[in-house]
Amino acid sequence: MSESLVVPTMAEMMARGEQPEVLFWVGCSGSFDDRAKKITKAFVRILNRANVKFAVLGTEEGCTGDPAKRAGNEFLFQMQAMMNIQVFDGYEVKKIVTACPHCFNTIKNEYPDLGGTYEVVHHTQFLKSLLDEGRLTIEGGQFKGKRITFHDPCYLGRANKVYEAPRELIQKLDAELVEMKRSRANGLCCGAGGAQMFKEPEKGNKDINMERTEEALDSNPNIIAAGCPFCNTMLTDGVKFNHKEGEVKVMDVAELIANAQDL
């Protein structure tokens, strides 16, 4: 923690008569889950370093409604969506970045129908664009030569066909990107999607996150990279269950980049 975080809110910006270039949608996991909060902070440190003029909604942010919708509660989803759209429109938001593929998918694909159309990007896409524009440089640092495998989050990969941005970022770390047997469009779910995160699984002979973690471990990685707070939780649990937490770390792509720069 070299410097303190600068995290302006939309309300503060508006009071100053400013408009950020992008709204960082933190999401419920990123706000409340202890593990995911670290991802949030890592991403903010990169944004601060790259001098990105961003803002968060803070206490004005509320669940996108994704888990309610996937659970079948369309009422609750649309109420959340319309409340959020009113907030976005009140601040004249144009562009949104988020570190959660579920929030990303919902705001990008399901809000336009309800009157909220914005440019929505996943944080790996945003970081990639910072890199392309020369606003951010990535060096390997501590990850040079490490074996890193990337787990495709369903709502980033199959759902929205974003496969390359996270991989290109990992390769910039001079790390060895190794693929699991099932990756990209064939990637196996971590088991948390569709509101499964919030309930016990149905009766079966194995938990889905175990199946996926074993596959990840089969690729002999030093690090399992994720791009989703839910996947992160599921895979972290899986690694612990396999007693591998000493050797294999589960990290978000934003954390990899922040750590590589010693941010």
Partner 1 sequence: MQILSSILFIALTVAGFGLFAINAKKIYRNIKLGQPVNCTDRYSERIKNMLLVAFGQKKMFTRPVPALLHFAIYAAFMITQIELIEIFIDGIFGTHRIFKEPLGGFYTFMISLIEVLSVAALTATIFFLSRRNLLKLPRLNMKELLGWPKKDANLILIMEIVLVLCIFTMNGTDEALYNMGKSHFEGQGSFNFAISQFIGPAVFGSLSEGTLHILERIGWWGHFIMVLTFLNYLYFSKHLHILLAFPNTFFANLNPLGQFNNLESVTNEVKLMMDPNADPFAAPAPDENAVPSKFGASDVMDLNQVQLLNAYSCTECGRCTSVCPANITGKKLSPRLIMMKTRDRLEEVGKNIDTNKGTFVEDGKTLLNDYITPEELWACTTCNACVEECPIEISPLSIIMDMRRFLVMEQSAAPMELNTMMTNIENNSAPWQYSQMDRLNWKDEN
The dihedral sign for the CA sequence 168, 230, 67, 33 = negative
| Nearer residue to partner 1 within complex by CB, 109 or 142 | 109
Binding mask 48-67 for partner 1 (x = CB under 8 A): --------x-xx-xxx-x-x
For residue 37, state whether it binds partner 1 (rule: CB under 8 A): yes
| Nearer residue to partner 1 within complex by CB, 174 or 207 | 207
For residue 26, state whether it binds partner 1 (rule: CB under 8 A): yes
Instruction: Write the burial class of residue 72 (CB in 10 Å: 0-12 exposed, 13-18 middle, 19+ buried).
Output: exposed
Give the whole-angstrom CA distance, residue 157 versus residue 184.
6
| Nearer residue to partner 1 within complex by CB, 19 or 78 | 78
Q: Return the closest-CA partner of residue 118 out of 11, 17, 22, 30.
A: 22
| Nearer residue to partner 1 within complex by CB, 62 or 145 | 62
| Nearer residue to partner 1 within complex by CB, 162 or 257 | 162
Strand partners, 149: 178, 224
> Which residues inside 152-211 make contact with partner 1, applying CB under 8 A?
154-155, 158-161, 185-186, 188-189, 191-208, 210-211
> Which residues inside 87-146 make contact with partner 1, applying CB under 8 A?
105, 108-110, 113-114
CA 263 centroid distance within chain: 18
Count residues contacting partner 1 (CB under 8 A)? 72
Q: Return the closest-CA partner of residue 129 out of 168, 90, 93.
A: 168
Could you tell me which stretch among 78-86, 128-136, 143-151, 244-252 binds partner 1 (CB under 8 A)? 78-86
Give the whole-angstrom CA distance, residue 259 versus residue 42.
8
> Which residues inside 227-256 make contact with partner 1, applying CB under 8 A?
none
Task: Quote the least distance from Cβ 79 to partner 1, whole Å.
Answer: 6
Helix or strand run (H / E) with residue 96: strand 95-98
